[in-house]
Structures are given as C-alpha cells and as structure tokens.
Amino acid sequence: MKKSIFSLGLAFTMSLSSNFLSAQETISFNNPIQELKVEPLTGNVLVKTKDGISSVNPTTKNIDWSLDIKKVNNQTKLNDLAKAYDAISNNDFLKAFSSDADIEFIADSPYVQIKFDNNSVIVNNTTGEVVFNAAEYGYILYSTTIIPSKNQLLILGQKGDEINFINFNLSTNKTNWVSNVGNLDTLKESFNNFLKSLVKNDTAIGKNKIITSNGTIYAGIKNLLFALDASNGTIKWKTNYPINNFYVSGNGDRIITILNGGNILSSKQKLNILDASTGDKIWKDDITTKYISYLEDNGDKILIAHQSGFNFYDYASGNKVWKKDAKGKDIKQVISVDNDYLYIADNEMNLIDNNGQNKWKKFVEIADKSDDQVYYLGAVNNNRVFYLTDTFGNMVDYSSGKKIWKKNIEFDKKRPLVFDAKDDKFIVYNNKRIYTFNATNEDSPKPKGKIDVENDKTIQSLESFDWGICIVGQNDVIGIDNEGNTIYQKSYKEPGEAARRLLKTGGIIGQGYFGTKRELNKGVANAQFVYADEKGNEQRSNLVSDKTSRKLNNQADAYDDFSSAIDKNVMSLVKNRFNGLKQNNNYAFILNRGTNGPELIKVRKKDGVEVSKIDLASNKPIYDIDDINDNIYYANDKDLKIYH
C-alpha cells in the first residue's frame, strides 16, 4: 500500500437505536471533503479534498493510494492555461464540454479523470498511477473516451487556440497522434448556432460514443460525429449538424444517425443513413417520427420501425422494400421472435413474417385504448407471447394468435401498475393486489392479498425473492409472502421539498437501485439496433441510454482488455463484485423526515429491519451508495462515514 499524503484519524463508533443496531466507521481527513464517489471496479471510495485525492478501501479501512495536488499541479503550467480557460466562458462550443464534477469515471475502463484547480489528470483508479497530466502537455481536457480494443484514449482538448483530438497509447504512455479539429474562431462560427439550442436543452445532449470499424474511428462527441483515420488521426469527415446517437452497419459501409428533438418519450426523432467513407447523407430526406422502436441491419437493407411506419428500407436508395407498411397506425413497439416480427399498433398486436405478410388471422387486442401504456411484450416458454398493459394482461399462442386465457386479467388504469419479471414468471402489483403470471399457467391467475399502501403512486420497485415479494416506494417498504400475506410494512414521511431536491442532487438515491425498473415501468421502449457481425453472429445495441440497460456482470468481462492496467487480484475482485450483483439487491434506502431533520434509512427487504440510519446534517449532503455491497458513504465536513 502506498503511504498516504494525509494524516488520518480513524474513529469507530457504535450507535444503538430502540429497534436496531447500526455499525458506523469514520475516517477523518485534515480538510473538508469536497467530493466522493464509489469506484465501480474495486468498491473503493475516491475522496477529494483541497489537498488531493485518496482511494479508501472500505474493507481494510486503509488508503490504497493517494495523490497530492502539489505533485500534479505546476503553477507555471497552470498560468499558461489561464488564457484558454478564460475563453471557455465566451464560447458556446467550449461551454458545452464543461463539467462541474471533479471526479469523472471514464466509462468502460479502469481510469478516472480528476480535476485539480484548472488542471485535469487521468489516473488508473486501481493503482493511483497518473497516466496523463493535461497541464504537462499544455491541454485543457473536454472529453475523454476509451478505445478498449486498442487500449487507447481518445481525448478532445484545447491547446492555445486550437482544438485537437489526442490519441494516447496506454500501453506505452505515449501519444500516437494529434489531429486538429479547428481553432476557436472557426469552431465558434461553425457550431455556435446549434450548440446554443443544445446547451439550453439538456435532453438533447448525447453521450460520448466511440466505434472502430474498418480502420476508422467514429467518434460521437457531444452531438458531433467525426470519422478519423485510426492510423494517423486524419479527419476524413465530420457532421456540421447535431446527432444524438449513431450505429455502424454490419458491413461497415453505412452509418445510421439519430437525432432526438427532446424527451425520448414524446419528442420527434430524425433518422438518416450516411456513407461511411464520405459522411454524406444517402437519403435526401430524414425519416422524422415521434419515436423509433427497432432497427435491424440486413446487409443491403435496414428494417426501421417507428411511430408512423414499419418497413424495410433499401440502404442505397432509401426506398421501401415491402409494397405496404405493416398494417396499423401508431406503432409503439416491435420485437423479433425467431424470423418473424411481433408489433403493437394502437391497442392491438400482430405477427408478420420477414416478407411483411400477416401470420395471424386477425389482430389481438391487448389494451382498452390506444394511449394505454405497454409495460411488457415478449416471447415466453411453451410457444407463447406475454403482454402486460395499463388495462390487460394475457398470453397468446404464438402459432395461432389465440389468447391462452379466454378473459384478460383486468387492471385499474387509474392506479399504478408495477411488475417484476424473472424466468418467465411475472409478479404484478395493481390496486392493492398482487398477481402472479407464469408461462405454464393454463388458467387465469387470481389476485392475492390486499396491501394498504399509503401512497401507491410513489411505488418504484417490485421484486420477487424465494421468501416472497418486496414493494418499495418513497413512503413504504412492504414485505409479502408467496401467498400474499403481509410480513411487514414500514411507512415513512419524506423530508421537505427543498431537502429532497438537495438530496437527489447530492447522491444517487432512487437511481442506482430503482432507476432501471422505474424507467421500464414508465414504458421506455427497449428499442434495439440488431445486426450480424463479420462472423455472422447476431449483435444487439440498445437505442435507449446505456444507463437503463447496462448489465454490470457482463461489463466485468470487458475489463479483460485492460489486464496490463489491472493486476490479477483486482481483476478477481472485479469479477466477484459484478457477478454478485444478481444476488445483492437486498436493501431499500428511504429518505425520512426525522425528529432532528432529514435522515436516510437502510431497510432490509427480507424482514423490514432498519439496519442503519444516517442523520443528514448538511444542507448540501455529499454521499454515494455502492450498488454491489450496499454500503453507504456520507461526507460530513472532514469525516467520511461508512454505513454497512
């Protein structure tokens, strides 16, 4: 272990409540904590103060590594960068890349970008090694993305008045090439107009994305798409209009681009196809629609399912392949089942083959009205399709199109519906009742129990376990056995609205644990781009944000590409942490209006026991939660408090 640059006082305290025991450990620093974040690979906590940053091991209570700000910040170098920083406030292009966070993990990598005053450094967050010191290279960093297959960083930064891409080799710790994007004046003139609108509308800001294909790096950076020669960094082409997402076709000769006009559920999207070699639009007109639900690359054509149509389009001409679109208006969702396509139009669903011909004699009604929300549509065992909407739930025989249960399960549309799906078993809560659906059921399931929820509109999570079912909302944590009997029910009162805003800004409550289910329950389509790779294997990429769909246990495998950057002991820890996620969602974290002010309570789902409680003394709480082991880390002035 590296010697810490800070003198730390470790205090271990035990607090006793009337109904539970809470173990708390405190690690004290010399100065107030400015920011803390859980490092996803190891579970260590990165703690930043004005002196530097430390990686705290919550198991050993030791500092695995630390970095002194004096060792990375050269005042002469910082003075040279002062002019460049002044330019940021006067340039919309640069402001679009600015960030208030001091600690930013580089996605899908073992690296973190840390801001010290006006300098940024890129650090191996498992060892503390500084791999790139921006000030030493004379750069202000705007965006950093990993290229896993090459073990390279693609950095967008400013040096003087020039904006450059830097390709940095992590194996050699040397720069492979630098590619000039333009100077401040030309960029301001070229991109100022649309960046102004994008900066005002956060929902339109796209995620950074890098794809390498056929010797080209396609870099989508803050709504700009660049095609760079991977060998020397030459910019082959770039878009002079914004995009939010893009996909490279299986053959690598086409780029599918999507632009969101705003919120993904309600605003329009535009889709077009680019020639990968030139960046020119192949289709004269964009396909403009309310939303896009499914894309499938078939080599010479692409299947596009969107709100107002469903057809194959020829890549070269943009012409439709089928004579007619799939029948039905307001197409909400499409999924592939074997070689066929199951889709929802209005309040009905139908099955067509890959020639656009109906396979069922008639549409199957799955909802009462066309604007009813669709929660689930998918194939299950026994050659069946299961659907779940605001109003109905049922299964359909895939080969005949006939409903399994003569009468739909009917739900109360005026009351919230929350569900959980595991291994073809569906647990549904609606109107104080629990329903259990199974792919082998021949008879319509009957509702169980009667659960009195104080405010069921706040319910965000429903999960099934061996022991029963747990319901979690902003005000309630409820345990129910498999027969529908209430095991326990805990009710809480929320802090004031101002406090809630601060708490949600300061941490990840309601996101790390409930984000995926909440968004799924709101009906965010699991839209996908499907294509075959060079070996003919099917590949899928979600059209919605990675945040709602990422499976962390699979993500751990990707870190094998960084074996040179992470030692074997750490890799083993990574595997265990991420693979353990499936069994470790055992707690609910609830904000409560306590006697002495806002508090955070950790409730065990199995029995409702409150295992720990945190009094949040600050008006601007700094805290984070480890989704893997359920630890809570809370900064109170100079103290890092750990709750298990």
Tens of pLDDT, residue by residue over 572-607, are: 666 556 544 433 467 887 777 777 777 888 888 889
pLDDT of residue 423: 75
Q: Is 135 exposed, middle or buried (0-12, 13-18, 19+ CB in 10 A)?
A: buried
The confidence band for 571, taking pLDDT boundaries of 50, 70 and 90, is: low
Exposure on the CB side of residue 430, measured as CA atoms within 13 A: 25
* 328-358 pLDDT tens trace: 778 888 888 888 899 888 899 999 998 889 9
CB 479 within 8 A of CB 587: no
Question: At 451, is the secondary structure helix, strand, or coil?
Answer: coil
Given a cut of 60, whether residue 545 has pLDDT beyond it is no
The residue assigned the tokens 């002194």 is 68
The confidence band for 521, taking pLDDT boundaries of 50, 70 and 90, is: very low
Question: At 637, is the secondary structure helix, strand, or coil?
Answer: coil
Distance CA 621, CA 501 (A): 11
Ordered strands of the 301-306 beta sheet: 309-314, 301-306, 292-297, 528-532, 538-542
The residue assigned the tokens 């399931």 is 445
CB 435 within 8 A of CB 420: no
390 contacts: CB under 8 Å, gap ≥ 6:
367, 368, 372, 373, 375, 411, 413, 417
Question: At 169, is the secondary structure helix, strand, or coil?
Answer: strand
Ordered strands of the 269-275 beta sheet: 245-248, 254-260, 269-275, 287-289
Longest dimension (CA), the chain: 79
pLDDT of residue 618: 58
CB 102 within 8 A of CB 115: yes
Strands 245-248 and 254-260: antiparallel
* Mean pLDDT across 92-116: 73
* Mean pLDDT across 371-385: 87
Looking at this protein, which amino acid is placed at residue 556?
A
pLDDT of residue 559: 42
Given a cut of 90, whether residue 526 has pLDDT beyond it is no
Distance CA 541, CA 405 (A): 34
Question: At 506, is the secondary structure helix, strand, or coil?
Answer: helix
The confidence band for 196, taking pLDDT boundaries of 50, 70 and 90, is: very low
- Domains delineated in the chain: 9-71+585-643 (no CATH), 73-192 (2.40.10.480)
* Mean pLDDT across 76-101: 56
pLDDT of residue 254: 92
3-state secondary structure 527-576: CEEEEECCCCCEEEEECCCHHHHCCHHHHHHHHHHHCCCCCHHHHHHHHH
H or E element that contains 95 = helix 92-95
Q: Kindly give the residue spans of alpha helices, DSSP state H, lying in 330-457.
A: none
Query: Among 191-205, 430-444, 534-548, which stretch is predicted with the lowest mean pLDDT?
Result: 191-205
Q: What is the DSSP letter of 219?
A: E
Given a cut of 90, whether residue 80 has pLDDT beyond it is no
Alpha-carbon dihedral 365, 368, 371, 374, rounded to 10 degrees:
-60
* Mean pLDDT across 484-505: 62
Given a cut of 70, whether residue 199 has pLDDT beyond it is no
pLDDT of residue 274: 95
pLDDT of residue 65: 94
* Mean pLDDT across 240-249: 84
Strands 292-297 and 528-532: parallel
Strand partners, 28: 9, 639
Vertex 476: Cα angle to 474 and 478 (nearest 5): 140
* Mean pLDDT across 266-292: 85
Distance CA 359, CA 351 (A): 6
Cα Rg of the chain, angstroms: 26
pTM more than 0.85: no
The confidence band for 46, taking pLDDT boundaries of 50, 70 and 90, is: very high
In terms of pLDDT, which residue wins out, 278 or 126? 278
Given a cut of 60, whether residue 169 has pLDDT beyond it is yes
Residue 385, both tokens: 């399709």
In terms of pLDDT, which residue wins out, 54 or 580? 54
The length of the chain, given as a count of residues: 644
Given a cut of 50, whether residue 556 has pLDDT beyond it is no
Looking at this protein, which amino acid is placed at residue 546?
D
Given a cut of 60, whether residue 211 has pLDDT beyond it is yes
Helix, strand, coil % in the chain, rounded to nearest 5 = 15, 45, 40
In terms of pLDDT, which residue wins out, 473 or 115? 115
CB 188 within 8 A of CB 201: no
Distance CA 365, CA 348 (A): 4
User: For the stretch 20-48, what's the b/e string if a residue is b when 16 or more beta carbons lie within 10 angstroms of its beta carbon?
Assistant: bebebbbbbbeeebebbbbbbbbbbbbbb
pLDDT of residue 227: 95
Distance CA 355, CA 311 (A): 10
The confidence band for 405, taking pLDDT boundaries of 50, 70 and 90, is: very high
The residue assigned the tokens 């260590």 is 44
In terms of pLDDT, which residue wins out, 601 or 51? 51
Distance CA 617, CA 637 (A): 10
In terms of pLDDT, which residue wins out, 113 or 613? 113
pLDDT of residue 541: 57
pLDDT of residue 289: 80
pLDDT of residue 250: 84
Q: What is the DSSP letter of 281?
A: B
pLDDT of residue 88: 54
CB 276 within 8 A of CB 227: yes
In terms of pLDDT, which residue wins out, 99 or 401? 401
Question: At 581, is the secondary structure helix, strand, or coil?
Answer: helix
Query: Among 60-64, 128-132, 148-152, 571-575, which stretch is predicted with the lowest mean pLDDT?
Result: 571-575
Q: Kindly give the residue spans of alpha helices, DSSP state H, lying in 160-254.
A: 184-200
In terms of pLDDT, which residue wins out, 566 or 323? 323
How many CB atoms are closer than 10 A to CB 99?
Answer: 12
pLDDT of residue 626: 83
Portion of the chain with pLDDT greater than 90, in percent: 22
